[in-house]
Chains A and B, each alone.
Chain A
Amino acid sequence: MKLSCNISVKHLTRVEGHGNINIRIKDGKLEEASWEVVETPRFFEAMLVGKKWDNAPYISGRICGICSIGHTLASIRAVENVFGMVPTRQTNTLRLLLKHMETLQSHVLHLYFLAAPDFVSLGSVLPLITSHPEVVQRAVRLKLLANDACDIIGGRRLHPTRTVVGGFTMLPEKEQLEKLKQRLLASVEDLKQTAALFTTFAIPDFVRETEFVSLKGTDSYPFIGGNLLSTDGLDLPEHEYKKMTNEYCVEISTSKWCRVSRQSMAVGALARINNNHHLLAPLARQVADQFGLKPVCHNPYMNNIAQLVECVQVVEDSLALIDELLGAAMLEPRQPVAVKAGIGVAAVEVPRGILYHCYDFDEEGRIRKADCVIPTTQNNANIHYDLNALARQCAGEGKTDREIELLASMLVRAYDPCISCSVH
Chain B
Amino acid sequence: MPANLTYLGVELARPRVAFFELSSCEGCQLQLLNNEATLLDFLSLVEVVRFREGMTEAGDDYAVAFVEGSVTRADQELQLAEIRKKAKVMVAFGSCACFGGVNQLKNRFSDQEWVKREVYGDFHVDTQLARPISDVVKVDLMIYGCPVKKEEVERIVTDLLLGKAINHPKYPVCMECKANENICLFDLGEPCLGPVTRAGCDAWCPSNRMGCWGCRGPADAANIPQMARIMAEHGFSTETLLDRLECFGGFAAHVEEIRKKG
CB distance from B31 to the nearest CB of A (A): 6
In the complex, besides A123-B56, A420-B23, 16 extra interface pairs with C-beta distance below 8 angstroms are A13-B58, A41-B119, A42-B106, A43-B103, A59-B102, A64-B27, A65-B28, A66-B26, A136-B40, A143-B36, A156-B204, A158-B30, A164-B210, A170-B208, A249-B123, A420-B21
Chain A, residues 17-54, CB within 8 Å of chain B (1/0): the string is: 10000000000000000000000111111110101100
Chain A, residues 167-179, CB within 8 Å of chain B (1/0): the string is: 0011000000000
- Give chain A's interface residues, CB within 8 Å of chain B: 11, 13-17, 40-47, 49, 51-52, 55, 58-59, 62-66, 68, 105, 109, 113-114, 117, 123-126, 129-130, 136, 140-141, 143-144, 147, 155-159, 161-162, 164, 169-170, 249, 254, 420-421
Give CA–CA (A421, B25) in the complex, Å. 7
Contact residues in A for B34 (Cβ distance below 8 Å): 105, 143, 147, 157-158
- Give chain B's interface residues, CB within 8 Å of chain A: 1-2, 21-31, 33-34, 36-37, 39-40, 43, 48, 51-58, 72-73, 76, 101-103, 105-106, 108-109, 114-116, 118-121, 123, 125, 127, 130, 146-147, 204-205, 208-210, 213, 239-240, 243, 247
CB distance from A141 to the nearest CB of B (A): 8
Q: Of A55, A58, A68, A157, which is within 8 A of B25 by CB?
A: A68
Contact residues in A for B116 (Cβ distance below 8 Å): 43
Let me know if B58 and A156 touch, CB within 8 A.
no
Contact residues in B for A254 (Cβ distance below 8 Å): 125
Contact residues in B for A45 (Cβ distance below 8 Å): 118-119
Let me know if A14 and B53 touch, CB within 8 A.
yes
Let me know if A124 and B56 touch, CB within 8 A.
yes
Central interface residue in A113, A129, A159, by most chain B CB within 10 Å: A159
Let me know if A46 and B106 touch, CB within 8 A.
yes
Contact residues in A for B40 (Cβ distance below 8 Å): 129, 136, 140
CB distance from B23 to the nearest CB of A (A): 4
Give CA–CA (A391, B21) in the complex, Å. 30
A-B contact pairs, 6 of them (CB 8 A): A47-B102, A143-B34, A156-B208, A158-B34, A159-B146, A169-B208
Let me know if B55 and A42 touch, CB within 8 A.
no
Q: Of B30, B120, B146, which is within 8 A of A249 by CB?
A: B120
Contact residues in A for B25 (Cβ distance below 8 Å): 62-65, 68, 420-421
Let me know if A161 and B210 touch, CB within 8 A.
yes
Let me know if B58 and A66 touch, CB within 8 A.
no
Given contacts A43-B118, A58-B213, contact A11 B52 (CB under 8 A): yes
Contact residues in B for A109 (Cβ distance below 8 Å): 30, 33
Contact residues in A for B23 (Cβ distance below 8 Å): 40, 42, 420
Give CA–CA (A44, B114) in the complex, Å. 13
Given contacts A41-B125, A169-B208, contact A13 B27 (CB under 8 A): no
Q: Of B118, B125, B127, B239, which is within 8 A of A52 by CB?
A: B239
Give CA–CA (A48, B108) in the complex, Å. 11
Give CA–CA (A402, B4) in the complex, Å. 35
Q: Of B36, B55, B76, B146, which is within 8 A of A123 by CB?
A: B55
Give CA–CA (A129, B54) in the complex, Å. 14
Let me know if A140 and B39 touch, CB within 8 A.
yes
CB distance from B160 to the nearest CB of A (A): 21
CB distance from A54 to the nearest CB of B (A): 8
Give CA–CA (A123, B53) in the complex, Å. 11
Let me know if B53 and A16 touch, CB within 8 A.
yes
The chain A residue with its CB closest to the CB of B37 is A144
The chain B residue with its CB closest to the CB of A164 is B210
Let me know if B118 and A170 touch, CB within 8 A.
no
CB distance from B191 to the nearest CB of A (A): 10
Q: Which 9 pairs of residues, A with B, have the shortest CB-CB distance? A: A65-B27, A124-B55, A155-B208, A123-B56, A65-B25, A169-B209, A144-B36, A249-B123, A161-B208
Give CA–CA (A158, B127) in the complex, Å. 27
Contact residues in B for A125 (Cβ distance below 8 Å): 54-55
Give CA–CA (A77, B49) in the complex, Å. 41
CB distance from B252 to the nearest CB of A (A): 15
Q: Of B27, B72, B106, which is within 8 A of A159 by CB?
A: B27
The chain B residue with its CB closest to the CB of A118 is B56
Let me know if B72 and A40 touch, CB within 8 A.
yes
Contact residues in B for A156 (Cβ distance below 8 Å): 204, 208
CB distance from B18 to the nearest CB of A (A): 13
Let me know if B106 and A43 touch, CB within 8 A.
yes
